[in-house]
């Protein structure tokens, strides 16, 4: 950077002001007036506007960058994957792991399984190996690309693999989600051009002796030739350390990320060359600013055909993932990865379905027994409610293919209507192809109401209650010590004047009920607070009860669906038009919302939730403000559709009498959720999936055809059952 001073400037005081900002300068030789200062390269990074504000500075000139395209790259980006949902990279650390070389189908399959179970989403592995000695193992070549691809597909991982020569760029790019350029090839400009032309994201390793400028310029070559994004990977440079393979240049990682704003990766495996130092080096790289950590791992490092000494052991990979804050993939009861994908499940017999779920998900003996018999014990039923005379059964099904916030869920559904389960599973499969559902839920804050009638001077009374907010909260929490001990409790109050003439005033109490549905908790709070409130403002206490419109307990869900998965642009257009119709017409909106509740209610019943409360809340929310509206909205995007929905969902995973139901316990084991908020998001996803499937059918062939096909199938099997039972009886 060059700083030109004004003719009257005191160059010494300008230089010392600059020094105060961390900018070290020297006057350019021969410059008399005006003085021109050159900023030394190791100075701090300061915006030109700040420098221009210093008295005596006339102009700040930046040197022309040798790599303008690289400079324009954002430090975060979306990586689309061939086998799995797209990844948002840059916020948080991404761990990429795999063997140095792809050695055999079994070796890469086993490694991919352990990489996926550690929580990684990207698998690395070389088909072509650049080795110092021509006598060393050179990689299994093209066939290894096929093995890598198969393993990645099976375990739902993205692929990072190296292109070593222009000869195989096409084949490598066909398998890779990120093409790696190794350090030896950083300045192989012909190869960079060929890889750039594939249009793939590139991970560019720094050459052992390359300066940062040379490295960035190599990145520019890739971008000039068409690469959409370049990740700069530090893997160690030549140094004086004889006990390490290279010297990992953590300073350059910090410089590139924090000063130049680039996406940086670190490869501590090649930096250290020895497994005992990889974890601390990986962490130091991440601490310095690396957003991606690339490590080698091998199921049996002692048998690795290349770079065995630097391959992590499986348990070290898991430890590294933990230290980097990466959650391991969900595992089923038998330690296998938990999945919601069961292709051709519907073609199996009921017994085969039970066995498939039991073996794949490692279901407990209790759940397996329950699935075989179903139903409800008469004694349990007798304790659940009053005047019980028998039990009443409905089918328990599972909707498949659900992926929500990056996690699979088998979704239990209890519903008598044909096609609801199949439709939700189909829609979930379409959504899965573009990453699955994304959603979040607010804290589980329920609303309780205390009604006061005949209050004199209601506005003043309302103000009194507002001023006593802290006392009311304390009083509320005294009533629910166990909930407070669990981290919940009353968090806020609100007062509403409903009718001045009759002095009708309502106090709202907002209570965080954690993982409970919370009806009993908030009713207790309302009843306990009411007497004091009445003493303070007069009038007479009316109702003290929860509201089924819990506006502070909302769930948001959204998804994208590609046209190709929906069945074409016309269907995508049709669904967007159907959404507009519902947005303009309450008659249609109510049917639209029924389609959403088909999914939500079915899960609610299977999981023992109060579905009447859910229905009441959903419809009240849809009618809030103006006209009754659809809860979800579908909009056309360039590639397909975007759907989103928001609604209140008061559901719980602890407490409630229905937990006594063995079917609910079995359903809870199947669905694998970590608490009420996660369950709310999943139920909303089931609702949005059902809605998508209904609109797709309506916008296409019409609802009856699919319905009738399923009815026919069911009728056929019902006739078969009747026949079998009849024959059995005879």
Residues lying near ligand MEV in the complex (CB under 6 A) are found at 417, 591-592, 594-595, 598, 694-695, 698, 703
Give yes or no: 221 in active site: no
Closer residue to ligand MEV (CB): 417 or 570: 417
Nearest 5°: the CA angle 526, 528, 533 is 80
Residue 230 near residue 223 (C-beta atoms within 8 A): yes
Here the tokens at position 605 are 């019943």
The strand order across the sheet containing 25-27 reads 25-27, 36-39, 2-5, 57-61
Residue 380's SS3 state is helix
Strands (DSSP E) along 454-500, which ranges?
A: 489-499
User: Token pair of 41, please?
Assistant: 């390269």
Based on CB atoms, which residue is closest to ligand MEV, 353 or 707?
707
Q: Provide CB contacts within 8 A for 457, sequence distance 6+.
A: none
Nearer to ligand MEV, 306 or 598 (CB): 598
Residue 82 CA to residue 63 CA, distance in Å, equals 41
List the one residue out of 102, 265, 224 whose CA is nearest residue 172.
102
To the nearest whole angstrom, how small is the minimum distance from the Cβ of residue 690 to ligand MEV?
Answer: 8
Residue 246: Cβ within 10 Å count: 20
Of 440 and 583, which has the nearer Cβ to ligand MEV?
A: 583
Run of H or E including 539: none
Nearest residue (beta carbon) to ligand MEV:
595
Shortest spacing between CB 423 and ligand MEV, in angstroms: 9
Among residues 10, 610, 615, 646, which one is catalytic? 610
Min CB(713)–ligand MEV separation in Å: 17
Report the 10 Å Cβ neighbour count for 654.
13
Report the nearest approach of ligand MEV to the CB of residue 568 (Å).
Answer: 20
In the residue annotation, 610 being an active-site residue is answered as: yes
Residue among 154, 168, 225, 707 flagged as catalytic: 707
Kindly tell me which of 497 and 708 has the beta carbon lying closer to ligand MEV.
708
Question: 85 or 687, CB closer to ligand MEV?
Answer: 687
* DSSP H helical ranges for 374-443: 378-384, 420-432
Minimum CB separation of residue 251 from ligand MEV in Å reads: 59
User: What one-character-per-residue DSSP string does 331-376 give?
Assistant: B-TTSSBP----TTGGGS-HHHHHHHHHHHHT--HHHHHHHHH-S-
Compute the radius of gyration of the chain from its Cα atoms: 32
Q: Are strands 445-453 and 504-512 parallel, antiparallel or unpaired?
A: antiparallel
In three-state form (DSSP H/G/I as H, E/B as E, the rest C), the secondary structure along 28-58 is CCCCCCCCEEEECCCCCCCCHHHHHCCCCEE
Residues 6+ apart with CB under 8 A from 626: none
Q: What is the Cα–Cα distance from 609 to 601, expressed in whole angstroms?
A: 9
Write down the least CB distance from residue 291 to ligand MEV, Å. Answer: 42
In the complex, what is the shortest distance from the CB of residue 694 to ligand MEV, in angstroms, rounded to a whole number?
4
Instruction: Report the distance separating Cα 475 and Cα 534, nearest Å.
Output: 13
Tell me the closest approach of the beta carbon of residue 601 to ligand MEV, in angstroms.
Answer: 11
Which CB sits closer to ligand MEV, 200 or 592?
A: 592
Helices 365-373, 662-671: inter-axial angle, 10-degree rounding:
120
Match 């002095």 to its residue by tokens. 503
Q: What is the DSSP string of 291-326?
A: SEEEEEB-SSGGG-SS-GGGPBPHHHHHHHHHHTTP
Do the Cβ atoms of 440 and 536 come closer than 8 Å?
no
Which of these is catalytic: 168, 225, 258, 594?
594
Name the catalytic one among 55, 351, 377, 417: 417
Shorter beta-carbon distance to ligand MEV: residue 379 or 416: 416
By C-beta, is 417 or 463 nearer to ligand MEV?
417
Check: CB of residue 607 under 8 Å from CB of residue 659: no
Contact 566, 575 (CB under 8 A): yes
- Quote the crossing angle between the two packed helices 420-432 and 676-699, to the nearest 10°: 100
Instruction: Identify which of residues 416 and 501 has a Cβ nearer to ligand MEV in the complex.
Output: 416
Smallest gap from Cβ 619 to ligand MEV, in A, equals 15
To the query of whether residue 707 is one of the catalytic residues in this protein, the response is yes
Catalytic residues: 417, 594, 610, 707
């Amino acid at each position: 950077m060059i700083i030109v001073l004004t003719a009257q400037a005191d160059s010494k005081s300008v230089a010392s002001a600059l020094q105060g900002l961390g900018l070290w300068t020297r006057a350019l030789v021969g410059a008399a007036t005006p003085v021109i200062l050159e900023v030394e390269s190791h100075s701090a990074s300061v915006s030109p506007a700040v420098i221009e504000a210093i008295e005596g500075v006339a102009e700040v000139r930046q040197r022309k960058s040798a790599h303008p395209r690289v400079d324009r790259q954002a430090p975060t980006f979306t990586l689309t994957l061939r086998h799995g949902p797209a990844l948002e990279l840059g916020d948080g650390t991404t761990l990429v792991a795999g063997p140095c070389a792809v050695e055999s189908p079994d070796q890469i399959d086993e490694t991919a399984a352990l990489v996926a179970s550690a929580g990684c989403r990207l698998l690395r592995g070389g088909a072509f190996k650049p080795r110092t000695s021509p006598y060393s193992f050179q990689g299994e070549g093209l066939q290894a690309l096929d093995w890598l691809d198969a393993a990645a597909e099976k375990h739902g991982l993205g692929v990072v693999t190296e292109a070593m020569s222009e000869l195989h760029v096409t084949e490598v790019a066909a398998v890779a989600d990120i093409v790696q350029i190794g350090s030896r090839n950083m300045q192989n400009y012909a190869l960079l051009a060929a890889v750039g032309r594939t249009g793939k994201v590139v991970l560019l390793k720094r050459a052992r002796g390359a300066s940062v400028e040379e490295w960035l310029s190599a990145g520019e070559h890739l971008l000039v030739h068409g690469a959409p994004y370049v990740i700069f990977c530090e893997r160690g440079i030549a140094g004086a350390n004889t006990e390490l393979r290279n010297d990992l240049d953590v300073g350059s990682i910090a410089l590139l990320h924090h000063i130049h704003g680039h996406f940086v990766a670190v490869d501590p495996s090649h930096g250290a060359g020895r497994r005992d130092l990889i974890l601390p080096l990986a962490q130091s790289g991440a601490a310095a600013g690396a957003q991606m950590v690339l490590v080698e791992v091998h199921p049996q490092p002692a048998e690795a055909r290349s770079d065995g000494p630097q391959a992590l052991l499986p348990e070290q990979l898991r430890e590294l993932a933990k230290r980097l804050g990466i959650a391991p993939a969900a595992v089923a009861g038998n330690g296998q990865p938990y999945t919601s994908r069961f292709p051709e499940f519907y073609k199996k017999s009921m017994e085969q379905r039970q066995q498939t779920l039991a073996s794949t998900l490692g279901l407990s003996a209790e759940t397996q027994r329950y699935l075989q018999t179903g139903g409800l014990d008469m004694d349990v039923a007798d304790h659940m409610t009053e005047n019980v005379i028998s039990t009443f059964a409905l089918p328990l099904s599972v909707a498949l293919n659900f992926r929500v916030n990056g996690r699979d869920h088998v979704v239990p559904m209890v519903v008598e209507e044909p096609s609801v389960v199949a439709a939700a599973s189909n829609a979930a499969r379409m959504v899965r192809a573009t990453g699955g559902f994304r959603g979040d839920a607010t804290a589980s804050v329920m609303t309780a109401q205390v009604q006061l009638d005949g209050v004199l001077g209601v506005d003043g009374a309302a103000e009194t209650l507002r001023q006593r907010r802290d006392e009311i909260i304390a009083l509320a929490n005294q009533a629910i010590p166990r909930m407070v001990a669990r981290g919940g409790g009353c968090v806020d109050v609100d007062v509403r004047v409903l009718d001045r003439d009759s002095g009708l005033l309502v106090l709202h109490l907002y209570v965080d009920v954690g993982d409970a549905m919370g009806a009993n908790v908030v009713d207790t709070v309302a009843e306990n607070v009411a007497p004091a409130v009445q003493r303070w403002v007069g009038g007479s206490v009316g109702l003290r009860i929860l509201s089924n419109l819990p506006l502070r307990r909302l769930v948001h869900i959204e998804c994208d669906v590609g046209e190709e998965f929906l069945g074409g642009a016309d269907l995508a257009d049709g669904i967007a038009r159907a959404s507009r119709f519902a947005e303009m017409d309450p008659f249609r909106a109510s049917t639209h919302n029924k389609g959403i509740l088909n999914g939500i209610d079915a899960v609610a019943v299977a999981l023992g939730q109060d579905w009447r409360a859910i229905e009441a809340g959903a419809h009240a929310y849809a009618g809030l403000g103006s006209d009754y509206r659809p809860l979800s909205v579908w909009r056309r995007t360039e590639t397909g559709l975007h759907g989103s929905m928001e609604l209140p969902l008061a559901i719980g995973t602890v407490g409630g009498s229905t937990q006594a139901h063995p079917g609910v316990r079995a359903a809870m084991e199947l669905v694998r959720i970590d608490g009420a908020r996660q369950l709310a998001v999943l139920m909303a996803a089931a609702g949005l999936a059902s809605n998508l499937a209904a609109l797709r059918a309506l916008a296409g062939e019409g609802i009856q055809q699919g319905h009738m096909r399923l009815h026919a199938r069911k009728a056929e099997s019902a006739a078969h059952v009747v026949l079998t039972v009849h024959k059995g009886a005879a």
